[in-house]
Amino acid sequence: MVSKAVAKYVQQLHQKKYRQRTGTFLVEGAKSLRELLSSTLQPERLLLTAEFAATPGLRLPARVPVEVVSADELTRLGTLQTNDAGLAVVRIPDEPPLPAQAGELLLALDQVRDPGNVGTLIRLADWYGLAGVVLSETCADAWNPKTVSATMGSFTRVPVWQRDLPAWLQQLPAGLPVYGADLHGDNVHHQQLRPTGVLVMGSESHGLTPPVEACLTQRLHIPGRGGAESLNVAISAAILLDNFYRGE
């Protein structure tokens, strides 16, 4: 069993205030751990089951404490309902410079508060090779354990920045397009889009906030054929992103 001090530290990282205070976050489950251990991110501590630690080809970093624990203990310490692999305490990476220039496409999220959606959108950014994801200050935390799990390992590859979104959009270079999803926008299937600029996605229930909406240079609409009232934000982003790369 891990010590009471380590258990307390791990459980505190369920909360954003402790992640910010310590500069660390949790990575849980086999898929995310494998991605972590093959990346340049720095784990501070590993809690692994004996079975996962013995996985052929698993490369454990030198000079990082590794403790062997049971699956039951991992479930008590972590956030997953079941976890038979392990968890890691990891340093939050330093922010790289935030690109905003022609020839690169960024995804920006406005008030997307569900960590599962934010994680899926980060995974989408990884799939399409975007330059990164910008989160408004009211989005779910990128280092929330549920967000990290939903990225399915993409947290190791996709840069994420949290910003005052309207202020950041207003400071973009003149002429850089800013796209946003809008029910009254242009039919995305009739547009010739290039992967440059910023695509902004809002929450499914509220859409874009007025200050962010005022920064758009083009509104895009996904035409529907059935009776559904709306699409999940991650599904909408996937459809829109695919249209940016349709001719690539």
- Claim to verify: residue 85 and residue 133 sit in the same structural domain: no
What's 61's domain CATH number? 3.30.1330.30
Are 60 and 86 contacting, i.e. CB atoms less than 8 angstroms apart?
no
- Is residue 197 in a domain? yes
pLDDT band at 99 (very low <50, low <70, confident <90, very high): confident
What's 128's domain CATH number? 3.40.1280.10
Mean pLDDT, residues 238-248 = 89
In the prediction, which pLDDT does 41 show? 95
As a whole-number percent, the residues of the chain with pLDDT over 90 amount to 85
- Claim to verify: residue 138 and residue 71 sit in the same structural domain: no
In the prediction, which pLDDT does 247 show? 67
Residue 142 is which amino acid? A
Q: Among 121-130, 147-156, 226-235, 238-247, where is mean pLDDT lowest? A: 226-235
Q: Where a domain ends, among 91, 124, 151?
A: 91
- Is residue 123 in a domain? yes
Domain membership of residue 156 as a residue range: 105-244
Indicate the angle between helix axes 233-244 and 115-127, nearest 10 degrees: 20
- Is residue 19 in a domain? yes
pLDDT at 140 over 90: yes
- Is residue 34 in a domain? yes
Mean pLDDT, residues 10-28 = 98
> pLDDT tens digits, residue range 170-207?
999 989 999 999 888 899 999 999 999 999 999 877 78
pTM: 0.94
pLDDT band at 39 (very low <50, low <70, confident <90, very high): very high
- Claim to verify: residue 155 and residue 78 sit in the same structural domain: no
> For the chain, what is the mean pLDDT?
94
pLDDT at 159 over 70: yes
Q: Spell out the SS3 assignment of the chain.
A: CCCHHHHHHHHHCCCHHHHHHHCEEEEECHHHHHHHHCCCCCEEEEEECHHHHCCCCCCCCCCCCEEECCHHHHHHHCCCCCCCCEEEEEECCCCCCCCCCCCCEEEEEECCCCHHHHHHHHHHHHHCCCCCEEEECCCCCCCCHHHHHHCCCHHHCCCEEEECHHHHHHCCCCCCCEEEEEEEEEEHHHCCCCCCEEEEEEECCCECCHHHHCCCCEEEECCCCCCCCCCCHHHHHHHHHHHHCCCC
pLDDT at 211 over 90: yes
pLDDT at 230 over 90: no
Q: Among 46-50, 80-84, 227-231, where is mean pLDDT lowest? A: 227-231
Q: Among 3-12, 35-44, 50-59, 219-228, where is mean pLDDT lowest? A: 219-228
- Is residue 60 in a domain? yes
- How many structural domains does the chain have? 2
Q: Where a domain ends, among 91, 118, 144?
A: 91
With a CB cutoff of 8 Å and minimum separation 6, the contacts of 206 are 111
Q: Where a domain ends, among 60, 91, 122?
A: 91
- Claim to verify: residue 155 and residue 50 sit in the same structural domain: no
- Is residue 40 in a domain? yes
* Maximal CA-CA distance, the chain: 60
pLDDT band at 1 (very low <50, low <70, confident <90, very high): confident
What is the Cα–Cα distance from 147 to 143, expressed in whole angstroms?
6
In the numeric block, the tokens 């369920």 are attached to 14
- Is residue 229 in a domain? yes
pLDDT band at 227 (very low <50, low <70, confident <90, very high): confident
- Claim to verify: residue 136 and residue 215 sit in the same structural domain: yes
- Claim to verify: residue 54 and residue 117 sit in the same structural domain: no
